[in-house]
Amino acid sequence: MFTDVEHLRTLPPADVLVVGSGPAGLSCALELRRLGATVVLLESGGRRAARSPLNEVVATGLPFLGAMTGRARGFGGTGERWSGQCLPLEDADVTGRSWVPDGDWPLELADLRTWQARAADVLGVADATFGLADLDRAAGHDAVTVGEALGRGDLDVRVLHHSPHPRLGHVARKDVAADPGLHVVVGATAVEVLVRAGRAAGVRARDGAGAEWSVPAGATVLAGGTLENARLLLASGSGPDGPAGLGGGSGHLGAGLQDHPVWELGEVTGPDPRLTSFFQASTHGDHLVRPKLTLSADAQQRGGLLDAVADLQVVHGPRSPVGAAKRIAEALRQGRVPESFGPELLRLATGAGAIVREAQHRRRGLAAPPDADSRLVLRVQTEQPPTGPSRLRLSGRRDALGLPMLEVDWQVGAEEHRAAVTAAHALTGALTGAGLAQVRLVPWLDDRRAFAGAAADYYHHAGTTRMSRRPEDGVVDPDLAVHGVAGLHVVGGSVFPSSGYANPTLTVVALALRLATHLAGADAARSSATDPAATP
């Protein structure tokens, strides 16, 4: 049931309080309900997800645009903006790579794979193998031929699947509204985790007018996204770890911020039509698939490299009606009249078809096919070192609720540069060697300073509350419980020890389902232990 924040005091204590209704929080809450637990789901935004000024951060490193444009608050969270891209982590990302320190996961690979399969089922991509065989079924022989030509040597082909129903909040809205055991409280922002005698007792929440409530629960799950999970723990400094924040005694809280930085590293000319067709999405049953080229495991090990992905992307030019539509929209968002307003409107009027095609593709997270005023670029994205220099801190500035804003120090270094350059050369060599296209790489490819300045974050936030077996190595244990604080769990990309190249949402949902099953089992065990009528 949906409940406004003013009715918060009338709610009975829940078995589990979940903070955040994005893919992690909603998946966890729905699975808990399926297993019989009562749940309060606390959502900072309203009943519809939207951008929020509460997402503003203080960037002290490179620009980190995803903090604002890559996040939403409201029922369904950022998942309401997600295009549904699903990929699993590679085996070596989980079991560890000797050349990537601190990157192994404290989970058995088979355990994670079991839950990723469950997540794939929830997201509607249960039949995915994520390999070239999926492309064969979807795009046909020509695509496979191109894939085989490119996926040699230092490159592998992986096939990304788009969930046919990525907006989990939209899908679940009707069932949630009718469920008396699940209360979704909108307009309530968690501002502090409450701890009594070393155990989480719920959270303190604040509404937009500044009124506050204590929200009790048997167990508390933070599922607000990588940045918000860390901020809430950092702001909850009254626990056993003092000013370092809850779970911060090891120094890992807020540290190891990761994204998938992305660059345009070359322009592709004279593409064979089969090539542009290969990189476009194709239909696989009831959903779309799209190939990605990744650095092979052998290339990574040989060069001591991070994971990287290389592909081709359509960029629309200044005379394109699609570009005109984007410029007008951006100007209006900033409250100004766009320059060359008349010519821009004329481009819109004469290019309605192109704009409609682009809108249709963008809703699926894709770029439209090239037109007469577009160019094809070679794009590369990499993972980041699991315990690299990037991190989050609380700043001295306050947001509209009076809460400390996050200071985001996002950095891109030599390791990302080496991986990206290797991937760019590998794809360039594969394209020219197969006679599929020519590539002109950017002149600043070997200039690390220019390279860092050209980096853009890809909204795949990870790290900052890393998972570890030992308290001194992270923030949460393999069951996602905060080290040293009973009854407090964290789920989402923030717990990833490493992020590989894969889009994170499939794994986020997998971890949420796993956590819900763990919590439901623990609650059942406690009930049996305290019920005199329970049989052994």
**Residue 281 confidence (pLDDT):** 85
**How many beta carbons lie within 10 A of that of residue 526, not counting itself?**
13
CA dist., res. 87 & res. 434, Å (int)? 27
Residue closest to 57 by CA, chosen among 457, 454, 438, 335: 457
CA dist., res. 39 & res. 30, Å (int)? 9
Question: SS3 helix, strand, coil % of the chain, rounded to 5?
Answer: 35, 25, 40
Question: Which parts of the chain sit beneath pLDDT 50?
Answer: 238-242, 334, 363-366, 525-536
Classify the C-alpha dihedral 413-419-421-424 as positive or negative: negative
CB 3 within 8 A of CB 185: yes
Distance of CA 100 to the CA centre of its chain: 21
Question: Strands 14-19 and 189-196: what pairing?
Answer: unpaired
Amino acid 26 reads L
**Residue 535 confidence (pLDDT):** 30
Task: Give Cβ neighbours of residue 204 (< 8 Å, ≥ 6 apart).
Answer: 190, 191, 192, 194, 212, 213, 214, 215
Task: Give Cβ neighbours of residue 321 (< 8 Å, ≥ 6 apart).
Answer: 347, 348, 350, 351, 352, 354, 355
CB 466 within 8 A of CB 475: yes
pTM here?
0.90
**Residue 279 confidence (pLDDT):** 87
**Residue 366 confidence (pLDDT):** 47
**Residue 372 confidence (pLDDT):** 65
- DSSP-assigned states of every residue in 5-67: GGGGGGSPPEEEEEE--SHHHHHHHHHHHHTT--EEEEESS-SS-B--GGG--EESSS--THH
